Amino acid sequence: MDLLGSLVLVLIAIGVVGYLLIEWQYRQRPGNDLELTAKNYHFSTYEPNHYAIALDTVFTNRTRSLEIFIPEVTVDYELLSSDSLDGITVKTEITPQHDDFPARADNYWFAYIVKVGQTTNAKLTVDITGPDLTQLKSLWLKVKYLTYGPEGRIPKTGHLIVPLKFPNPENATSWRENSVAHILPVPTHLLTNLDSTVEVVKKYVTPCAQPGDIVTIGETPVAIMQDRLRHPTTVHPGWLAKRLCYYFMPTSSLATACGMQTLVDVSGPWQVASAFAIGAVAKVFGSPGMFYRLAGEQARLIDDVTGTLPPFDQFIVLGPSHSQQLVDQIYKETGLQAAIVDVNDLKAVKILAKTAETNEAMLIQALIDNPAGNADEQTPVVLIRPKR
């Protein structure tokens, strides 16, 4: 090969390596990584014909080296009710609360730059009026915000669900009994990503509890309160997820490309791919279920769309995080033993985490008939009083 040919090959090799390096670096970069969350919400008015709600929202630039613009913000909503919505009107307004720029009197959202690793705030208010609001269950706010940055103009949506109906904890009196315990399914409001698990226990369980009782909470409600939600529009299935999902039972949460991609995002493509390969071989030799043991804890815990109550039936819900720390915190702040559990109507009970003195065998027997229910009972918390 002459010198010119060798030089051409070297240039091609340099070009290929350069392309791969640039592509690898691009894939590691966060793009327009701006996230909307809410710190809290409160009702300034809660009357049968008028609800006035305020939410403190936060836009967070989660990148380490990029500035992200917010040129547009709008709010859409959906009301969930047990009755007709005729005669009910809803007005929403979002007002910027930037530290360095006052809000405009006309409520125009002017383009704003969120600096590297910084946040900015906005006040979201909702006014609901109608002849009878007592049948309303929840309000699903969809905050649509445009991000402008290295990825161009990327629209995003922050999902905030506000409960509108709150049962009285003193009315929780439907105790049941089995061979090992007295059991009380505890009604709550619709638990959302604006709630705190510990505060829910304090509000609804402590009025009914006695020393020695155990509070159990379903893993899906805990994950929702931890905001471990993904709307399918934010999940982008890749090559691996689109192919592996076809090998799972249709009832599995991993049988859709978005459900499988969620696992890939959490566990990593190499772990999921190797778990699938080893699981397939193990199944041939009579050892099913190996995939779920190797693909990471979330493989069993992810709930795909339709897996829980509306409006969360529109979301993919992961399993909870830091479960042990959470039950320990419940015990520290309430004095109640606690457990996070995964229970279904097939008499399958899995204890994800429990406080140190909790009797696991007794707990499983107390929950074996799924007292929380699998439908719309809205009793995600169960209080267990062991028999002496």
CATH number, domain at 353?
3.30.1330.100
Residue 33 exposure: Cα atoms within 13 Å on the Cβ side: 12
Q: Domain for residue 13, yes or no?
A: no
Structural domains of the chain, count: 3
CA distance 173 to 185: 9
Kindly state whether residues 275 and 149 are assigned to the same domain.
Answer: no
| CB 301 within 8 Å of CB 318 | yes
Kindly state whether residues 273 and 299 are assigned to the same domain.
Answer: yes
Residue 273 exposure: Cα atoms within 13 Å on the Cβ side: 9
Q: Domain for residue 303, yes or no?
A: yes
Kindly state whether residues 216 and 339 are assigned to the same domain.
Answer: yes
Kindly state whether residues 345 and 243 are assigned to the same domain.
Answer: no
Q: Domain for residue 196, yes or no?
A: yes
CATH number at residue 96: 2.60.40
Nearest residue to 172 via CA among 387, 388, 385, 386? 385
Kindly state whether residues 204 and 312 are assigned to the same domain.
Answer: no
Structure tokens at 25: 């670096």
Which residue, 298, 317, 336, sits at the end of a domain? 317
Strands 89-97 and 119-129: antiparallel
Q: Domain for residue 12, yes or no?
A: no
Q: Domain for residue 21, yes or no?
A: no
Q: Domain for residue 120, yes or no?
A: yes
What was the pLDDT predicted at 1?
Answer: 58
| CB 386 within 8 Å of CB 337 | no
For residue 265, report the phi and psi dihedrals to the nearest 5 degrees.
Answer: -65, -35
Q: Domain for residue 346, yes or no?
A: yes
CA distance 108 to 294: 51
How long is the chain?
388
The domain of 200 spans 169-227+319-386
Kindly state whether residues 67 and 181 are assigned to the same domain.
Answer: no
CA distance 193 to 196: 8
Nearest residue to 90 via CA among 105, 109, 74, 76? 76
Residue in the structure block whose two tokens are 């309430």: 334
Helices (H) and strands (E) in the chain, counts: 10, 16
What was the pLDDT predicted at 251?
Answer: 87
CA distance 9 to 364: 67
- One-letter identity of residue 216: T
Nearest residue to 96 via CA among 117, 116, 111? 111
pTM exceeding the 0.75 threshold for the entire prediction: yes
Name 266's Cβ contacts closer than 8 Å, sequence gap at least 6.
296, 298, 318
Instruction: Return averaged pLDDT per consecutive 10 residues of the chain, 388 residues in all.
Output: 69 73 65 88 95 96 90 95 92 91 86 91 96 93 94 92 90 82 91 93 91 92 93 92 92 93 93 92 87 91 86 93 94 93 83 90 89 77 88
Kindly state whether residues 288 and 301 are assigned to the same domain.
Answer: yes
Which residue, 260, 295, 317, sits at the end of a domain? 317
Question: Is the backbone peptide bond immediately before 311 cis, with ω within 30 degrees of 0?
Answer: yes
Instruction: Calculate the CA dihedral of residues 125, 128, 134, 136 and round it to 10 degrees.
Output: -70
Kindly state whether residues 248 and 378 are assigned to the same domain.
Answer: no
Kindly state whether residues 342 and 382 are assigned to the same domain.
Answer: yes
H-type helices in the chain, by residue range?
Answer: 3-28, 197-204, 219-225, 239-244, 257-267, 269-284, 290-294, 298-301, 323-334, 360-367
Kindly state whether residues 127 and 256 are assigned to the same domain.
Answer: no
Which residue, 292, 317, 342, sits at the end of a domain? 317
Kindly state whether residues 155 and 205 are assigned to the same domain.
Answer: no
Kindly state whether residues 185 and 306 are assigned to the same domain.
Answer: no
Q: Domain for residue 379, yes or no?
A: yes
| CB 97 within 8 Å of CB 121 | yes
CA distance 280 to 291: 8
What was the pLDDT predicted at 176?
Answer: 87
